[in-house]
């Protein structure tokens, strides 16, 4: 039913994180992208910046509103998906792959993350 | 939450709903950008049943309107509409309104947020005048048809020759056989009509207009696109550009005030402030892409001094830019560039002429 990857961890606020060793990649789910509507800009953190768990790691601008990305992991930013500032297409077409937002060297992980089953159970209760 | 008679139609069209001051209203259907360009390029249909409508009758109705409405009313011809304000004693707006001068009555369209307060306030100004204020908001439907194809779409259903109805004119005629007050007014900057009729026919007229507009690719339009359309066209939203703390002079809406009307509530106080010179002024700002300065966003000068605040902001698909109205210090009106402060960073925005968009005529 869904193409959401099973190996990721998900947050209640629709972020995903892929943790590989001490590196983590952060993005937002297809549900978050769909909810924001027409996207126009992505404000990414600076490489080298330090982000805490639940701090705003990035902001995604849509025509309707701005979506704050609550970082599911904390650490030092090692890379950002710079192309998204000019072209937000990958966020809609491939939110779990080409649409990643930033990577960081993990120093802390939120203790409220869910696996895919739990996340999809939450989505069922949220969707109208 | 309250809902309009058209809620089921919106749900069937897969609208996303939002709580708009206690009203469950469609914020978007196909998408805000698509809906905005649909109105600019073709024609769109709006459910405005949540807005308020007052009808003033009785021998002194026009004197009462002249007492509460800031605009020049005495010279307004029958069958014509005018924009202006209901001002409090201090000259701050209680609401912004459109007044329609008919032969036997005066119709006033008020905001949804004004429904709880405007009728009582107008009644309280009556004094010894013999006039009756009737709130018909719950009895009438209000639908707007906006965009270059509006006349074509409505003409097919309407018993009057619409080419004879001028901009800001109105008439009464059957639409789908039901008596309707139809006005060539709107809130998008495009040609179009606003229709007022018995709400028992709301669904029938809505469906008939969608059907009539099919060949022009008509779409229902939500509040999201409506907000962008009116912002592009330089039209204020009550509560944002004007409110009990921002007056029409500051908001650059003096055209809605006849400053010679000493007998109109609030006009003398407002005139005094106009003559003293406003300390804050509204400006239009535009930027090429990047962060979007939205309502409440601080505006600073190049040196970082606080200048003001964004009253409305968004993405303009028509201009391909991010646009905003902001209330800033009067001395910054010619600064050329001001800066929106978002997430600790300053984003330059150019001061541009108003309105952002004018339709080709």
Answer whether residue A68 is part of any domain. yes
Mean pLDDT (chain B, rounded)? 97
The answer to whether B82 and B73 are in contact (CB under 8 A) is yes
Q: Is B153 left (phi over 0), alpha (psi -120 to 50) or beta?
A: alpha
Distances in Å between the Cα of B251 and the Cα atoms of B14, B281, B339 are 37, 6, 19
Residue A126: the pLDDT is 80
Structure tokens at B58: 């009785």
Q: Please give the radius of gyration of chain B, using alpha carbons only, rounded to the nearest integer.
A: 20
Residue of A38, A60, A68, A92 to mutate, interface with B, max B Cβ within 10 Å = A38
Cα end-to-end distance, chain A, whole Å = 18
| Residue B338 near residue B285 (C-beta atoms within 8 A) | yes
Note the pLDDT of residue A85.
Answer: 87
Residue of A38, A43, A66 lying closest to B31 (CB–CB): A38
Burial zone of B258 (CB within 10 Å; 0-12 exposed, 13-18 middle, 19+ buried): buried
Pinpoint the alpha helices (H) of chain A.
Answer: 30-36, 89-93, 116-126
Contact between B314 and A66 using a beta-carbon 8 Å cutoff: no
- Among chain B residues, the shortest Cα distance to A63 is held by B315
Q: Measured between CA atoms, how close is B170 to chain A, in angstroms? A: 33
* Confidence at residue B361, expressed as pLDDT on a 0 to 100 scale: 76
Q: Which two tokens stand for residue B32?
A: 């805000």
Best CATH choice for the domain B7-49+138-232 from the list 3.30.1360.120, 3.20.20.140, 3.40.50.740, 3.40.640.10: 3.30.1360.120
Contact B228 A63 (CB under 8 A): yes
Residues of A in contact with B292 (CB under 8 A): 40-41, 61, 66
Q: Do A66 and B228 touch (CB under 8 A)?
A: no
Question: Looking at the domain assignment, is residue A123 inside a domain?
Answer: no
The tokens of A113 are what? 């993350």
Beta-bridge mates of residue B346:
B341
Look up the CATH number of the domain holding residue A21.
2.40.50.100
Q: How many CB atoms lie within 10 A of CB A87?
A: 10
Please give the average pLDDT of every successive group of 10 residues along chain B, which has 361 residues: 97 95 95 96 98 98 98 96 98 98 98 96 96 97 98 96 97 97 98 98 98 97 97 98 98 98 97 96 96 97 97 96 98 97 95 95 76
The answer to whether the CB atoms of A64 and B294 lie below 8 A apart is no
Q: Are B1 and B21 in contact (CB under 8 A)?
A: no
A110-118 average pLDDT score: 96
Q: Do B343 and A56 touch (CB under 8 A)?
A: yes
What pLDDT was estimated at residue B360? Answer: 85
- Closest by alpha carbon to B139, among B52, B60, B266, B237? B52
Residue B214: Cβ-neighbour burial (10 angstroms; 0-12, 13-18, 19+): exposed
Residue A17 lies in a domain: yes
Residue with tokens 């405007």: B118
Pick among B7, B29, B33, B293 to test the A interface (most A CBs inside 10 A): B33
Confidence of residue A1 (pLDDT cuts 50, 70, 90): very low
The pLDDT, as a whole number, for residue B358 is 95
* Residue pLDDT, tens place only, B202-214: 999 999 999 999 9
Instruction: Parse chain B into domains and list their residue ranges.
Output: 7-49+138-232, 52-115, 279-352
- Strands B44-47 and B219-220 turn out to be parallel
Note the pLDDT tens digit of each residue in B37-53. Answer: 999 999 999 999 999 99
Fold category of B279-352 in CATH: Elongation Factor Tu (Ef-tu); domain 3 (2.40.30)
Calculate how close chain A gets to B309, using CA atoms only, in Å: 18
What CA–CA distance (Å, rounded) separates B202 from B142? 8
What pLDDT was estimated at residue A2?
60
Beta-bridge partner residues of A80: A102
Question: Residue A53 falls within a domain, yes or no?
Answer: yes
Q: Which candidate from A56, A66, A85 shows the least CB-CB separation from B292?
A: A66
Rg (CA), chain A: 13
Length reported for chain A? 128
Q: Could you tell me if residue A127 is inside a domain? A: no
Structural domain count of chain A: 1
Q: If pLDDT is split at 50, 70 and 90, which confidence band does A127 have?
A: low
Which residues lie across from B351 on neighbouring strands? Answer: B285
The CATH topology of domain B52-115 is: Alpha-Beta Plaits (3.30.70)
How far is the alpha carbon of A7 from chain B, nearest alpha carbon, in Å? 31
Reduced to 3 states (helix: H, G, I; strand: E, B; else coil), residue A94 is: coil
> Does residue A40 belong to any structural domain of this protein?
yes
Q: Is A94 on the interface with B (CB under 8 A)?
A: no
Does any CB of chain B come closer than 8 Å to the CB of residue A61? yes
Contacts of B210 (CB under 8 A, 6+ apart): B45, B218, B220
Tell me the residue range of the domain where A59 lies: 9-110
Partners of residue A66 in chain B, C-beta under 8 Å: 292, 294
The answer as to whether A120 is a domain residue is no
């Amino acid at each position: 039913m869904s193409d959401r990857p099973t190996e990721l961890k998900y947050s209640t606020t629709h972020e995903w994180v892929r943790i590989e060793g001490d590196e983590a990649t952060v993005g937002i789910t297809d549900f978050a992208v769909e909810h924001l509507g027409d996207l126009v800009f992505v404000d990414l953190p600076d490489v080298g910046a330090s982000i805490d768990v639940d701090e705003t790691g990035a902001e995604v601008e849509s025509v309707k509103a701005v979506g704050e990305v609550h970082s599911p992991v904390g650490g030092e930013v090692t890379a950002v998906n710079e192309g998204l500032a000019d072209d937000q297409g990958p966020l809609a077409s491939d939110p779990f792959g080409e649409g990643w937002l930033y990577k960081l060297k993990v120093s802390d992980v939120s203790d409220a993350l869910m696996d895919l089953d739990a996340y999809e159970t939450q989505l069922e209760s949220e969707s109208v | 939450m309250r809902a309009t008679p058209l809620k089921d139609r919106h749900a069937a069209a897969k609208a996303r709903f939002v709580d708009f001051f206690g009203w469950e209203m469609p914020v978007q259907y196909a998408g805000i950008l698509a809906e905005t360009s649909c109105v600019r390029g073709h024609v769109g249909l709006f459910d405005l049943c949540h807005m308020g409508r007052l009808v003033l009758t009785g021998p002194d109705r026009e004197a009462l309107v002249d007492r509460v409405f800031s605009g020049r009313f005495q010279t307004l011809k029958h069958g014509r509409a005018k924009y202006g304000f209901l001002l409090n004693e201090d000259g701050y707006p209680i609401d912004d309104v459109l007044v329609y001068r008919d032969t036997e009555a005066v119709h006033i369209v008020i905001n949804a947020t004004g429904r709880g307060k405007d009728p009582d306030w107008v009644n309280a100004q009556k004094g010894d005048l013999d006039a009756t204020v009737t709130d018909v908001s719950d009895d009438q439907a209000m639908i707007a048809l906006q965009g270059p194809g509006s006349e074509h779409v409505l003409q097919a259903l309407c018993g009057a020759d619409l080419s004879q109805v001028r901009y800001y004119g109105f008439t009464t005629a059957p639409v789908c056989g039901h008596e309707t007050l139809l006005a060539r007014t709107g809130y998008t900057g495009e040609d179009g009509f606003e229709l007022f009729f018995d709400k028992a026919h709301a669904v029938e007229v809505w469906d008939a207009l969608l059907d009539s507009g099919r060949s022009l690719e008509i779409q229902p339009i939500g509040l999201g696109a409506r907000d962008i359309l009116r912002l592009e066209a330089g039209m204020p939203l009550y509560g944002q550009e004007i409110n009990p703390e921002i007056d029409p002079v500051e908001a650059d809406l003096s055209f809605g005030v006849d400053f010679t009307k000493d007998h109109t509530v609030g006009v003398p106080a407002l005139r005094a402030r106009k003559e003293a010179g406003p300390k804050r002024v509204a400006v239009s700002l535009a930027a090429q892409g990047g962060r979007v300065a939205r309502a409440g966003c601080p505006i600073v000068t190049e040196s970082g001094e606080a200048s003001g605040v964004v009253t409305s902001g968004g993405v303009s698909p028509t201009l391909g830019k991010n646009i905003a109205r902001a209330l800033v210090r009067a001395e910054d009106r010619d600064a050329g560039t001001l800066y929106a402060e978002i997430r600790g960073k300053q984003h330059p925005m150019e001061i541009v002429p108003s309105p952002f968009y004018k339709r080709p005529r």
